[in-house]
Amino acid sequence: MWILKWFFRCAGMQLNIKKKPVQVLPYDFHVIFEKIKEADGLVLGSPVYGADISAKMKNFIDRLGIASLGDAKVLQRKPGAAVSAVRRAGGMTAVDALNHFMLFREMLVVGSTYWNMVYGKDVGDVLNDDEGMANMRNIGENMAWLLKKLHA
């Protein structure tokens, strides 16, 4: 799993991922683009500040979209999932924007039992959002299931 340090630092978020190897990458688009080419799937996530994805995520997906035009197969038929962390409102718009990007690039969009967002104001609050965390577990299970089917 690769996590972009740039996005988390800008959101003031702390990483709390247990039992999973995590590699935090500095924001170097070319390095990340090469990792995306190699990846079996892609999870795009954004904090919500102004009722939509963050400006940095918008910049990233715009660059990713342009970079992938040279080789449409970079994203084509690659499983993808969209998630957002939100304090009050705008999570649906953020998930929708990320889903639209993936559909536009011919990716296979993975869903969950409900919209893929978690609610919280302060660092760690989202862990108390039982329904949101259940949705996140489910989208992870759905992504794993699809990846196994595609690589069977």
Residue type, 49: Y
Identify the CATH number of the domain in which residue 113 sits. 3.40.50.360
Q: Range of 64's domain?
A: 2-150
For the chain, percent of residues with pLDDT exceeding 70: 82
How many domains would you assign to the chain? 1
- Give the HSE-up count for residue 1: Cα atoms under 13 Å, Cβ half-sphere: 14
Q: Is the pTM value of this prediction over 0.75? A: yes
Confidence (pLDDT) at 1: 44
Confidence (pLDDT) at 121: 87
Sign of CA dihedral 120, 122, 128, 134: positive
> Residue by residue, what is the 3-state secondary structure of the chain?
CEEEHHHHHHHCCCCCCCCCCCEEECCCHHHHHHHHHHCCCEEEEEECCCCCCCHHHHHHHHHHHHHHHHCHHHCCCCEEEEEEEECCCCHHHHHHHHHHHHHHCCCEECCCCCCCEEECCCCCHHHHCHHHHHHHHHHHHHHHHHHHHHCC
pLDDT band at 28 (very low <50, low <70, confident <90, very high): confident
Decide if pLDDT at 8 tops 70.
Answer: no
The tens digit of pLDDT for each residue in 51-81 reads: 999 998 999 999 999 999 888 789 999 999 9
Mean pLDDT estimate for the chain? 84
pLDDT band at 29 (very low <50, low <70, confident <90, very high): confident
Query: Higher confidence at residue 33 or residue 9?
Result: 33
